[in-house]
């Protein structure tokens, strides 16, 4: 793994954020995640990453809820809420980043996906409640290589699924990287309910109104670069 001096670590980290988090803006096929590293490849055949963040720390992923999503919840009689350390501020759900890592490989080489790692949000999430039924979606993990978000699901306190695909991430409207002090900010990736999550919610709440790829909102990922 390539090491960086203290003088260059912030720049390298910001560069990784551009490459790693912007991977959420492309489809899995465009990023090459559909072509998994061959199981028969030897350790010697695995290239070294161009850059690496071995440990992500703070700050959060925020999702500005789409008006259509809010309307859909109301029509279904679902009341949203926060879980754990998540907060709801001015229409945006905030989930603190608690860990993870990102490796960035040369995209000109054949190794795929060229962005690998995870962005973890343990101990937070949001809930949907209707009558006596409460579904909690928590412990989100973003996979920048596949542009997908996974998480745990519980129904009335009982686990229903662990690290199941909950949301797909698309970034056709992704804005250029912004810096705010030592924080790097990427905003504009849209968040859509996955087919798996739609099926689970429809089954739990006895409806067919939760559509696959329903737009949830627009994500804003803020990461501390040092």
The whole-number pLDDT of residue 106 equals 84
CB 127 within 8 A of CB 201: no
pLDDT at 125: 98
Residue extents of the structural domains in the chain: 56-224
Evaluate the omega torsion of the peptide bond into residue 113 and state whether it is cis, within 30 degrees of 0.
yes
Residue 8 pLDDT: 43
pLDDT at 6: 41
Q: What is the pLDDT of residue 128?
A: 96
Contact 93, 125 (CB under 8 A): no
* Residue 64 neighbours by CB distance under 10 Å: 15
Predicted pLDDT at 4:
38
- DSSP structure class, residue 175: P
pLDDT score at 110:
86
Q: Token match 């090459």: residue?
A: 32
- Residue among 82, 103, 80 nearest 13 (CA): 103
Averages of pLDDT over runs of 10 residues in the chain (226 residues) are 41 57 54 48 70 85 94 90 97 96 84 87 97 97 92 97 96 83 88 95 91 95 83
pLDDT at 22: 62
pLDDT of residue 172: 79
**pLDDT for residue 34:** 46
């Amino acid at each position: 793994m390539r090491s960086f001096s203290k003088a260059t670590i912030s720049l390298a980290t910001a560069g990784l954020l551009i490459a790693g988090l912007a991977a959420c803006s492309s489809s899995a096929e465009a990023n090459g995640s559909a072509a998994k590293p061959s199981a028969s490849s030897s350790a010697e055949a695995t290239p070294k990453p161009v850059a690496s963040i071995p440990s992500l720390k703070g700050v959060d992923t925020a999702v500005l809820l789409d008006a259509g999503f809010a309307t859909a919840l109301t029509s279904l009689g679902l009341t949203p809420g926060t879980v754990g350390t998540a907060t709801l501020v001015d229409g945006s759900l905030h989930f603190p980043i608690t860990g993870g890592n990102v490796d960035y490989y040369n995209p000109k080489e054949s190794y795929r996906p060229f962005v690998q790692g995870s962005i973890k949000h343990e101990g937070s999430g949001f809930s949907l409640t209707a009558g006596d039924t409460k579904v909690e979606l928590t412990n989100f993990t973003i996979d920048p290589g596949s542009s997908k978000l996974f998480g745990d699901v519980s129904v009335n306190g009982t686990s229903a699924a662990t690290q199941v695909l909950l949301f797909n991430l698309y970034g056709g409207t992704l804005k250029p990287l912004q810096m705010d002090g030592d924080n790097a900010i990427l905003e504009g990736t849209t968040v859509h309910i996955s087919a798996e999550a739609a099926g689970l919610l429809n089954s739990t709440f006895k409806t067919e109104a939760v559509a696959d790829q329903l737009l949830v909102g627009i994500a804003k990922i803020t990461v501390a670069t040092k």
